[in-house]
Structure 1
Amino acid sequence: MGLFGLGKAPGLGVDLSVDTIKALELTAHGESYTISQLAELQLPENLITEDDITDVERLGKQLEKLRKKLGSKSKQVVAAVSGNQAISKQIAVSADLDDEAIAEKIEAEAEALIPFPINEVRYDFESLGPHPSLAGQQRVLVTATRTVTVDTRVEALEQGGFEVKIMDVDTQAILRACNHLLPHLAPDLVDNEQPLLIIDLSVTGLHMMIVEQGEISYTRYQSEGLERLFNGLDEDKSISHSELFAKFRANELDGFPELFIADYLSGLWTQISRGVQLYKNNLLEAGFAAMVVVNSGAMVPAVLETLKSNVQYPVLPLNPFDHFELPESSAHLHPHGPRFVEALGLALRSFTPWHT
C-alpha cells in the first residue's frame, strides 16, 4: 500500500477521531450510491490526542469492536491522516502525460514539490482536469505525508482486522463529500462563482477550508474546538463531555454560565474571522457563496446561531443523511450525520484511482 490505494465496491471509510471512530460503507449503483452499513464507537480518553495515536494496540482493539459492530463483510478500508500532517500542491503538466509519466515527473521534481526525502514519504496524485488558463496543460493535485504518520494508522487498523488500501487526507475527504452532497442539498450553490467556506468544528479543533472552483485554496487549523467549552463547564468533573454535548445539541443550556458560553462563542467567531482575514481582507462578511459547517459543531444550535448572526450568506449544517437513506438499523444516527461527513468522503475515495 502506498499513501493511497484503490478499493472496489463497496467502499468503506473509517474516520479516526479523538473522541470516536466511525465507519461508513457505500454500495455503488451505476453513478449513485447507497449507505449499506454504518457504525460509531466512543473512544476512551487520550487514546488519540490531536493527531497522534498514543497506544496502537488499544486502538486496534477498539477498531476490532467497530468492525464487529458494523457487521460488514468488507475489510478493505479508506482512512485518513490529518491535513496538518500532509503537504498538498497543485502542479501543471502536459495534458498528454499518462499516470506513469506524471509519477516519473513528480519523483524527478520531488525536492521542489515535497519538503521531505522521497524515500521517507508516501504520496498520491490526482488529475483535476484541464488547466483553466494554460492551454494543453492539466492540473494535478500532489499530496504527500511522512511514512511513519501513515504506518501507525495502518498498524492500528490492521490490528482491528481491516486491510488498508487507501490512506487519504481528512481535508480532501471533507471536500469530496461536500462536492458530492451540495448539488443535491444546496443546488443553488453549484453555479455560484464565489468561494465556499467550510468550517470543520470538532471536539479538539477548528479547521477552516476555503474552496474555489471546487478545490481547496486555503486551510487554517486552530487547536481549540468544543473541548475548551466543555472543559470550562466541567471544572469539577461532575458531568461527562458526552453528556454536555447532548445538552448543547438539545439547546438545553439552563443552569450553565451564560457569560462563559457567550465568551466561547465570541472567541470562536474571532478565530474564524482572523483566519479568513489572513487569506483575504473584507471577504468574511459577504464574500462567500455559503458557509458549510461539518462535524460536531454543526449539531450545536448555539454555534450555528452565532455564525448566522455574523454573515450575510447561508450557513449550512451539512448532514449526509439528508441525502442518503439510512439502513433501518442505523436510523437513530440521522441527527449525527454531520459527524460522518469525513467518513463519507473516505468511502467515496474507494471509487477513484490511486497511485504510489
Structure 2
Amino acid sequence: PIEEVSLDFEVLGPVQGNPDMVNVLLAASRSENVEVRQSALELGGLTARVMDVEAFAMENAFSLIADQLAVPRDAIVALVDVGATMTTLNVLRAQRSIYTREQVFGGKQLTDEVMRRYGLSYEEAGLAKRQGGLPESYEIEVLEPFKEAMVQQVSRLLQFFYAGSEFNRVDQIVLAGGCASIPGIAEMVEEQLGVPATIANPLASMSLGPRVQAHALAQDAPALMIACGLALRSFD
C-alpha cells in the first residue's frame, strides 16, 4: 500500500536527444525500513537528515576506487557487496548504476557454521573468523565450502543481470563488504567466472589520523564502501 511506502525523487537532467523530457530518479522503500534506521540513530542520540539507498551509496563510493581498476572509464563493472546477511550487486557503466539486485546471503552463515561446529558464542565466532585460532580443519571443512558458496552467489547475481539486460559480460568484478576480506576469494572468483576480480579499498587514497591502526583499517576497508558513499553525499 502506498501509505506504507516512503518515496523521493531527483531530476537528473534532460533526456539525450529529447530536450522536452527529463530523466528522473525515483527511490522507494517500505516506511518501516526507514523508521527502523531512524530509531537506531535516535538510540545513539543522533537525528537522521537523509536516508539513502545502499546501491546509490556504493555508486558514490565507486569514485574512490575507479582509478585503482585496470579498465577504461566506460567499462562495465560489477560491484558486489557481501555483507553479514545481504549481498548487493551494483553494475555500473561509465561509473553510473545500470542494474542492482539483492540476495539473502552473507557472512553470518559462516559465523553460524563456526558457532555450530566449534561450540562458540556469536561474538567468539566472529572474532575467531577475523583473528584466527580455529582448528586446522576450519580451512578445508568450513571456510572453503563458504567461499565456493560465495562464488556461486556472485555467479547467480551476474546471470540475473545478463538475463535482464542487453549485456552478456562484465569487464571487472569488484568485491566489497566484510566477506571480501576472506583470503583468496578474489582469486577464486576470477578463476571460476573468468572475469578479472579485485577487492575494493575505498580508503586507499585517504590520509590516516595518528590514532588509526593502519593494518586493522586495511582489513576493514572493503566493508566501508557504503559508509564512504554515505559520507561523500551532500544534502540540503
Task: State whether residues 50 and 235 of structure 2, in contact with CA within 8 Å, keep that contact through their aligned partners in structure 1.
Answer: no
Please state if 1:344 is matched with 2:228: yes
In the alignment, structure 2 segments of 5+ residues that lack a partner are none
Q: Could you tell me which residue of structure 2 aligns to residue 210 of structure 1?
A: 91
Aligned with 1:320: secondary structure?
Answer: coil
Q: Could you tell me which residue of structure 2 aligns to residue 233 of structure 1?
A: 114
Q: Could you tell me which residue of structure 2 aligns to residue 273 of structure 1?
A: 155
Identity of aligned residues (%): 23
Please state if 1:131 is matched with 2:12: no
Match of 1:142 among 26, 35, 42: 26
Please state if 1:199 is matched with 2:80: yes
Q: Distance in 2 between matches of 1:168 and 1:275?
A: 22
Pick the structure with greater CA Rg: 1
Please state if 1:182 is matched with 2:182: no
Query: What's the offset of the Cα at 1:177?
Result: 0.7
Query: What's the offset of the Cα at 1:316?
Result: 2.1
Task: State whether residues 91 and 98 of structure 2, in contact with CA within 8 Å, keep that contact through their aligned partners in structure 1.
Answer: yes
Name the amino acid aligned to 2:140.
E
Alignment of 1:1-356 (within 5 A): 116-117=1-2, 119-132=3-16, 134-178=18-62, 180-186=63-69, 188-192=70-74, 194-235=75-116, 236-238=118-120, 240-247=124-131, 254-256=136-138, 258-280=140-162, 287-332=169-214, 333-335=216-218, 336-349=220-233, 351-352=234-235
**TM-score, length basis structure 1:** 0.57
- Cα RMSD of the aligned pairs, angstroms, is 2.8
Q: Distance in 1 between matches of 2:20 and 2:60?
A: 26
Q: Distance in 1 between matches of 2:57 and 2:112?
A: 29
Moved over 4 A (4+): none
Aligned with 2:57: secondary structure?
Answer: helix
**TM-score, length basis structure 2:** 0.82
Q: Distance in 2 between matches of 1:203 and 1:328?
A: 30
Name the amino acid aligned to 1:148.
E
Query: What's the offset of the Cα at 1:259?
Result: 4.2
In the alignment, structure 1 segments of 5+ residues that lack a partner are 1-115
Name the amino acid aligned to 1:203.
A
Task: State whether residues 210 and 218 of structure 1, in contact with CA within 8 Å, keep that contact through their aligned partners in structure 2.
Answer: yes
Q: Distance in 1 between matches of 2:16 and 2:196?
A: 28
Cα 1:316–1:352, aligned 2, differ >3 Å: closer, same or farther? Answer: farther
Query: What's the offset of the Cα at 1:258?
Result: 1.0
Higher relative contact order (CA 8 A, sep 6+): 1
Per-residue CA deviation, residues 68-104 of structure 1 (Å, 9 max, x unaligned), is: xxxxxxxxxxxxxxxxxxxxxxxxxxxxxxxxxxxxx
Structure with bigger helix share is 2
